[in-house]
A and B are shown apart, each in its own frame.
Chain A
Amino acid sequence: MERELIESLLFTVLKVLVVVPVALGVGAYLTWFERKLAGHIQNRMGPTVVGPFGLLQPLADALKLATKESVIPRGADRPVYYLAILLALVPSVLLLALIPWGPAFELGGRVIKPIISDVNVALLLAFAFGSLSVYGTIFSGWASNSKYAFIGSMRKAAVVIAYEVVLGFSVLGVVLLAGTLSTVGIVQAQIERGVWFILYQPVAFVLYMFCMLAESGRVPFDVQEAEAELVTGYNVEYGGMKFGAFPLAEWYLNVIALSAIAVVLFFGGWSGPSILGPLSPYFWFLVKTFGLVFFTMWLHWTLPRFQAKDITDVAWKILLPVAIANVVVTAVVKYFF
């Protein structure tokens, strides 16, 4: 019994050691990718100087940010000021624990699931973490002792309250269909039926994408940053790596995690034709996730931004009724057929 516990702990630690550095590294490299993408969308080259194709740019950025002088505004609430960084970063990383990267496989007589923690309330946890990360924004705005940061974080609070509700309702349809809250279970439900849930729940998917953009503060919902109005809003008083942590958490880790959850919910997770042998599930999962991340960035560099009051307006008056209707219809259909 004790041996099993130690073993499972050991495996979990091993998985964490694999997933977290990889995710952070990918997150950092998404900055390079985003800059390249933005560059090409805008008739520019993007980074080209540091390394071939500018590939070493994220390292150079990290080096620059890490060596910057740390400036904390007078009158800042220091414990909360630092807590904000943790609260932004930790929930985004924790989200990664709930993502099933592939099917279970056997290694030396042991069944290994490529997910850090396969809990049966995974989705609930995911949204709980998502809500937690908002505190990072709000604390940073409050602790900075700056009006701009404060207004930015208040906007974010208003937006998140609206979108959390819609997000919860939008995934309920999938949960009803799959009959489980476990991420692995949802993927398996789709594989068993041989169909992706996006076919049954297209409305829910659109709603989910809206909420995902709002949660991760991407255009057209980046009201809390709004550089032209609020000079990047809630993180304006953060400098160096402390500043770097916020976009990393919000724009990259959060987007990766939420895209991965979207893939789990709507695109059949790792399912796909076996083209790479045992590696193909991972391949498919990453391709689908990356597709959604790409879509998010594409929107970011194309669209203008909403106003905060418009966002909440849309959420409460349009999206929420649609989401509820979607749940009701799904439930009724599911009950009778």
Chain B
Amino acid sequence: MRWLSEEKARRVEKRFGEAVAYYRTEHTAGLKVKKEQLKELLRYLKEREGFKQFVDLTCLDYPERKERFEAVYLLYDPDENERVVVKSSTDGTLPTVTDLWPGAKWAEREAYDMFGVTFEGHENLRRMFLWEGYEHHPLRKDFPLGGYKEVELPSLTELLHGRTDPPSHDFELAHTRLPTLEDLERTEKARLKKKAELVLNWGPLHPGTHGTIWFLFDLEGEKVVQCDVILGQLHRGMEKIAENLHYFQFLPYTDRMDYLSAVCNELAYVETVERLLGVEVPEKARYIRTLFAELQRINSHLLWLGTGALDLGALTVFLYAFREREKIMDILEGNAGYRLTTCFLRIGGVHYDLAEGTLEAVKQFIKTFPESLKEYHALLTRNRIWLRRTKGVGVITKEDVYAYGLTGPVARASGVPYDLRKLQPYAAYDEVEFDVPVGEVGDVYDRYLVRMEEMRQSLRIVEQCVSKLEKLPKDAPYVNKEHPAVMPPREDVYNALEDMVKTFRLVVHGEPAPEGEVYFAGENPRGELGFFVFSKGDGKPYRLRIRSGALYNLSIFPKLIEGRTIADAIALLGSLDPVVGETDR
């Protein structure tokens, strides 16, 4: 994947003259534009230069500048496989781009929520994750890390027994205000103006929502007239946390975003940081990463299959899927020590060398898994009820894919062969063979077939990784510990003085990263998981933006569900497969 080519940049500069400035950094290239010309430039890029896919939109905050916010747009040209960054400074207002890319709707709301930037012309500029009535904007640099200590929240012990001396708990009593029931009611009212007979609150705690998403369905009988989604129940301020941690310290947080594909998240994150820091990764580590990322993809798709089928009433597929998942979980646990939030990868390599017997266990899995896949196909693929529930439901066109910034299996099911493992190879993906399945219609059934086939392709990759790892010498390095930013392996820390000192230094001071910006995305089971890192030369990122595939994929849900029934909603949501840890971050 390239960044904006010189030739195109010159063309743009010629057309827009003074207002646009081309810039190129080590990892990115883009255009800086005055706010007044921003909309025009974006329209030009979309319509004339082929940058029709919306990738992401976010902001940066420089409190010392007069125009303190810098908006960052990220676009992609699918024909030329080219990305571009568009930046524009503002003191608080920007034109909306939702008429160009409807997928920017939620991104703009998020920027409004987190930075307080208003987008003129946005149809419903509400807070994205926080509740109505909350007056702060947390990602601004002047927002205190500990929050505003506005209200006292005593513990239950204190309520029952009163204040004691010494206090029963050693945490602060004063906290940032929490949303009350009235706040939530106001939030709900603000999102949806009732048009039809009955508003159904679907969630936040509902087994069909696959997490804590809050859907509002305005129903006419069983038909959904309009729908809105209230996110934020799982919002933990990941991006704010990242700004205050050393690069390596943020790694465990990535596990907790899309918790079903922890290794893939880690992979996307470490690859980004390695590009910024310029860390070479040893061959063995690359293959171990690929192996586990693909196992994790199978694992994640199996959970999607199980819960998706469970949603449509096929109870048995769920447990069959979990049977296979258990085997993968065991392999992960044997290597990383954890099952779900593995924290297995490290900047510069992986945490541990392959555990003894791993390859045998994986080979056994490779042998048995095709049979299980056949079983799932036998239960569902030609089942008439299954076909009736999935065919023609939630059809996503190619135009929708570009306009909404859809990625991953959702995009591929609509016939867009957007697979970052092919387009922008990382880890060992350019050294293994696999095919990218694409769908034709783009309905729920196609998304089902694409994911099923992806599992088979992942198995192929796993097989190639295993045979490669078997050939590599046993004592080949699995982490590049020469680089100053890389944590040495644990056993070295205990046995060698230099390594211990290095660890101390890294933990206490962190390794400063070179100044600059980098955007890198990994192909996650839920789409493109991108990390946009802006570094000012410290050991901590100045801003770390997480581009969530699940969030963008979910953003098309309200459009697709209009005019369909609740029963379709569940099939559709299952096929978009959001994980709330990632949508909310």
- Pick the interface stretch among B65-73, B96-104, B266-274, B381-389: B381-389
Nearest A residue (CB) for B388? A310
- Pick the interface stretch among A110-118, A135-143, A300-308: A300-308
Give the chain A neighbours of B383 by CB distance below 8 A: 303-304
Give the chain A neighbours of B379 by CB distance below 8 A: 302
Provide the B565-580 mask, 1 if CB < 8 A to any CB of A, else 0.
1111110000000000
Tell me if B316 and A151 are in contact (CB < 8 A): no
Give the chain B neighbours of A306 by CB distance below 8 A: 385, 388-389
Give the chain B neighbours of A226 by CB distance below 8 A: 313, 567
Give the chain A neighbours of B568 by CB distance below 8 A: 307
Does A65 count as interface, using CB distance less than 8 angstroms? no
- Given A147-B198, A151-B222, A304-B383, A38 and B313 touching (CB < 8 A)? no
- Given A304-B383, A310-B388, A231 and B323 touching (CB < 8 A)? no
Nearest A residue (CB) for B206? A231
Nearest A residue (CB) for B199? A147
Does A42 count as interface, using CB distance less than 8 angstroms? yes
- Pick the interface stretch among A215-223, A251-259, A261-269: A215-223
Does B311 count as interface, using CB distance less than 8 angstroms? yes
Tell me if A43 and B198 are in contact (CB < 8 A): no
Which one of B313, B314, B569 has the greatest number of beta carbons of chain A within 10 Å? Answer: B313
Interface residues on A, range: 20 to 34
Tell me if A42 and B206 are in contact (CB < 8 A): no
Q: How far is the CA of A141 from the CA of B207 in the complex (A)?
A: 20
Those of B283-334 within 8 Å (CB) of chain A? 309-316, 319-320, 323
Q: Report the minimum CB–CB distance from A160 to chain B (whole Å).
A: 16
Does B380 count as interface, using CB distance less than 8 angstroms? yes
Tell me if A42 and B222 are in contact (CB < 8 A): no
Give the chain A neighbours of B355 by CB distance below 8 A: none
Does B394 count as interface, using CB distance less than 8 angstroms? no
Those of B91-127 within 8 Å (CB) of chain A? none
Does A156 count as interface, using CB distance less than 8 angstroms? no
Tell me if B319 and A304 are in contact (CB < 8 A): no
Which of these, A223, A301, A308, contacts B315 with CB under 8 Å? Answer: A301
Tell me if A229 and B566 are in contact (CB < 8 A): yes
Those of A241-258 within 8 Å (CB) of chain B? none
Tell me if A308 and B567 are in contact (CB < 8 A): yes
Does B415 count as interface, using CB distance less than 8 angstroms? no
Nearest B residue (CB) for A310? B388
Does A36 count as interface, using CB distance less than 8 angstroms? no
Which of these, A43, A44, A228, A230, contacts B310 with CB under 8 Å? Answer: A228
Does A227 count as interface, using CB distance less than 8 angstroms? yes
- Given A303-B383, A303-B385, A309 and B314 touching (CB < 8 A)? no
Q: Report the minimum CB–CB distance from A63 to chain B (whole Å).
A: 26
Provide the B359-390 mask, 1 if CB < 8 A to any CB of A, else 0.
00000000000000000000110010110110
Does B200 count as interface, using CB distance less than 8 angstroms? yes
Give 9 A-B contacts (CB < 8 Å), ordered by A residue.
Answer: A43-B319, A43-B323, A148-B200, A220-B313, A228-B311, A304-B309, A304-B385, A305-B313, A307-B565
> Top 4 closest A-B pairs, CB basis?
A305-B313, A42-B319, A228-B311, A304-B314
Q: A151-B200, A229-B311, A304-B383 are in contact. List 18 more A-B contacts (CB 8 A).
A: A38-B316, A41-B316, A42-B316, A42-B319, A44-B319, A222-B313, A223-B567, A228-B207, A228-B208, A228-B312, A229-B567, A229-B570, A231-B207, A302-B379, A303-B314, A304-B314, A307-B568, A309-B567
